[in-house]
């Protein structure tokens, strides 16, 4: 595009009730007294599990997930960076689902000496506040290459948990007590569940002001306005008025380096926006604030051949996949894009029956040309941060906010994927 700055009108297309709820919450938020982390207030040693961490120090402490005197207590490493100036407590969590590797890999990157050494972005001697990094929350699941805890339950459906409840419920209770309640900000890093793959995206309740600000601070193009699923870590955090977002990128059992890079970049963006670490956060050229989506489904059963990837920008009528069946040689059926838009998630499991969702799609009519200015040679959107420190946006440029209207079929973002993923699904609540 030419160097000329063109101002694009903002399209307000979120559902009206949702838009008003978000606006009202943000207005109330502005009139409230929020903690300002007074730079001159007293700041000294902090403790995690009775272990002392001095200002300017970084320490890795083992947190037992179960409170037991005998048997395995499932200790997990938590690295605490304690800055030299007052500031918020930021907790970054990976591996809530043990087979989702984007979080563990992103956290491992953040803990490498490139970041934590002198003059690194996470040098505690230049930091404000406290940062806690938990690379693998569900370490027993990770070791077993499983999403679940060894008792077969999903931690992200078990919050707030009970100290005398079932095993996963006990773990949730410990996690809430040790990692959630005293956080100001939580970033929970995930990948899509088995059978599909996500493009990098942030999910947050945009009507929760602190989470709204956090979602935008992450600095990527796709933000899904979604109320947290019941029993999720994000839900219990929001109920305590703690800012929390979920990052999604890549798929289970995969190491998607591009999703990992965006996760690392996004976490650093958040820390920069909070002034925990120096430098300005990088922002995308545009942002899609999505309140709903469209599903692409298999019309017939058979073997699915996907032609698009998570992040593909497609045009109305494009063939995105074809289905053939060994039982019906010579026949095949195409699945076409119903509108111009962006594939935010695509199936990776080729076995489909009629009605199986194969793609999750954001319809984007007005601003599709803007998206096309930022795609790679395969037609996939280049997400801010996926190429390292690339800053798409020059200071002073207007960011284009694109609101995508609609609702989440089934009540939440992932509700239409198969039942194995139902734990990401919000149960319809009687009072909503
Ligand atoms: Zn997950």
For residue 344, the model assigns a pLDDT of: 97
Please check whether residue 355 lies inside any domain of the structure.
yes
Q: Does 269 lie in the same domain as 342?
A: no
pLDDT (0 to 100) of residue 3: 42
**Domain identity same for 199 and 298:** no
Ligand 1 centroid, distance to 249 Cα (angstroms): 10
If you measure from the C-alpha of residue 96 to the centroid of ligand 1, how many angstroms do you get, rounded to a whole number? 6
Of 270, 289, 308, which residue constitutes the final position of a domain?
289
- 256 lies in the same domain as 359: no
- Site of tokens 């890795």: 60
CATH for 198: 3.40.630.10
Asked whether residue 427 is assigned to any structural domain, the reply reads: no
Q: Which domain holds residue 358?
A: 294-393
**Cα–ligand 1 centroid distance for 421 (angstroms):** 9
421, part of any domain: no
- Tell me: do 270 and 320 sit in the same domain: no
Gap from CA of 166 to ligand 1 centroid (Å): 21
Query: 230 and 356: one domain?
Result: no
374 shares a domain with 276: no
H or E element that contains 18: helix 16-31
Residue 212 Cα to ligand 1 midpoint, Å, equals: 20
Residues 185 and 303 in one domain: no
Q: Which of 259, 247, 250 is nearest to 218 (CA)?
A: 247
Does residue 131 have a cis peptide bond before it, meaning omega lies within 30 degrees of 0?
A: no
CATH number of the domain enclosing 306: 2.40.50.100
Question: Are both 177 and 299 inside the same structural domain?
Answer: no
Task: Clarify whether residues 83 and 229 are in a common domain.
Answer: yes
Helices first, then strands: H and E counts in the chain? 9, 20
User: Cα(22) to centroid of ligand 1, in Å?
Assistant: 26
Cα–Cα distance measured from residue 361 to residue 199, given in angstroms and rounded to the nearest whole number: 11
Quote the pLDDT of residue 398: 76
- Note whether residue 98 is domain-resident: yes
What are the pLDDT tens digits along the chain (432 aa)?
Answer: 444 444 443 443 567 778 788 888 888 777 665 566 666 678 899 999 999 999 999 999 999 999 999 999 999 999 999 999 999 999 999 999 999 999 999 999 999 999 999 889 999 999 999 999 999 999 999 999 999 999 999 999 999 999 999 999 999 999 999 999 999 999 999 999 999 999 999 999 999 999 999 999 999 999 999 999 999 999 999 999 999 999 999 999 999 999 999 999 999 999 999 999 999 999 899 999 999 999 999 999 999 999 999 999 999 999 999 999 999 999 999 999 999 999 999 999 999 999 999 999 999 988 999 999 999 999 999 999 998 654 444 555 678 888 888 888 888 888 887 654 444 443 333 333
Is 418 within the bounds of a domain? no
Number of domains composing the chain: 2
Question: Per the domain annotation, does 97 fall within a domain?
Answer: yes
> Is 313 contained in some domain?
yes
CA distance 404 to 370: 14
This prediction's pTM: 0.90
Burial zone of 350 (CB within 10 Å; 0-12 exposed, 13-18 middle, 19+ buried): middle
Same domain for 326 and 285, yes or no, is no
Domain match, 335 and 218 both: no
pLDDT at position 431 is 33
Last residue of a domain, one of 289, 324, 342: 289
Q: Is residue 268 located within the same domain as residue 319?
A: no
CA 174 to ligand 1 centroid distance, Å: 19
Decide: 390 and 283 in contact? Cβ < 8 Å: no
pLDDT of residue 412: 84
Cα distances from 208 to residues 18, 32, 188, 241, 319, in angstroms, run 12, 13, 16, 8, 38
- How far is ligand 1, taken at its centre, from the CA of residue 273, in Å? 25
Residue 414: inside a domain, yes or no?
Answer: no
- Res 417: pLDDT: 79
């Amino acid at each position: 595009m030419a160097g000329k700055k063109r101002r694009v009108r903002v399209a307000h297309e979120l559902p009206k009730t949702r838009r008003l709820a978000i606006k009202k919450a943000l207005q109330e938020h502005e009139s409230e007294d929020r903690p300002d982390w007074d730079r001159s207030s007293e700041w000294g040693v902090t403790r995690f599990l009775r272990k002392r961490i001095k200002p300017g120090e970084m320490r890795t402490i083992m947190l037992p997930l179960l409170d037991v005197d005998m048997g395995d207590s499932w200790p997990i490493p938590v690295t605490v960076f304690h800055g030299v100036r007052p500031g918020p407590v930021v907790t970054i969590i990976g591996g809530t689902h043990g087979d989702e590797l984007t979080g563990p890999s992103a956290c491992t990157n953040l803990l490498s000496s490139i970041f934590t050494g002198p003059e690194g972005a996470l040098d505690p001697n230049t930091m404000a506040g406290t940062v806690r990094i938990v690379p693998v929350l569900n370490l027993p699941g990770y070791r077993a290459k499983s999403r679940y805890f060894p008792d077969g339950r999903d931690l992200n459906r078990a919050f707030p948990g009970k100290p005398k409840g079932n095993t996963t419920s006990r773990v949730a209770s410990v996690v809430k007590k040790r990692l959630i309640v005293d956080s100001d900000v939580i970033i929970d890093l995930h990948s899509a569940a088995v059978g599909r793959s996500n493009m990098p995206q942030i999910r947050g309740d945009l009507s929760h002001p602190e989470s709204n600000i956090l979602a935008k601070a992450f600095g990527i193009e796709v933000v899904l306005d979604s109320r947290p699923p019941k029993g999720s870590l994000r839900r219990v955090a929001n109920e305590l008025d703690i800012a929390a977002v979920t990052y999604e990128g890549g798929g289970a059992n995969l190491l998607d380096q591009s999703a990992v890079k965006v996760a690392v970049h996004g976490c650093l963006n958040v820390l920069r926006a909070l002034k925990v670490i120096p430098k300005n956060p990088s922002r995308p050229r545009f942002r899609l604030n999505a309140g709903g989506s469209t599903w692409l489904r298999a019309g017939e059963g058979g073997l699915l051949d996907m032609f698009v990837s998570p992040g593909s920008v497609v045009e109305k009528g494009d063939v995105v996949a074809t289905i053939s069946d060994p039982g019906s040689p010579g026949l095949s059926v195409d699945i076409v894009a119903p509108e111009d838009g962006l594939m935010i998630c695509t199936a990776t499991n080729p076995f489909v029956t009629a009605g199986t969702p194969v793609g999750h799609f954001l319809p984007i009519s007005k601003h599709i040309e803007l998206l096309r200015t930022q795609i790679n040679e395969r037609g996939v959107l280049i997400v801010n941060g996926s190429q390292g420190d690339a800053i798409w946006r020059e200071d002073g440029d207007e960011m284009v906010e694109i609101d995508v209207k609609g609702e989440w079929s089934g009540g939440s973002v992932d509700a239409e994927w198969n039942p194995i993923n139902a734990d990401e699904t919000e149960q319809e609540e009687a009072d909503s």
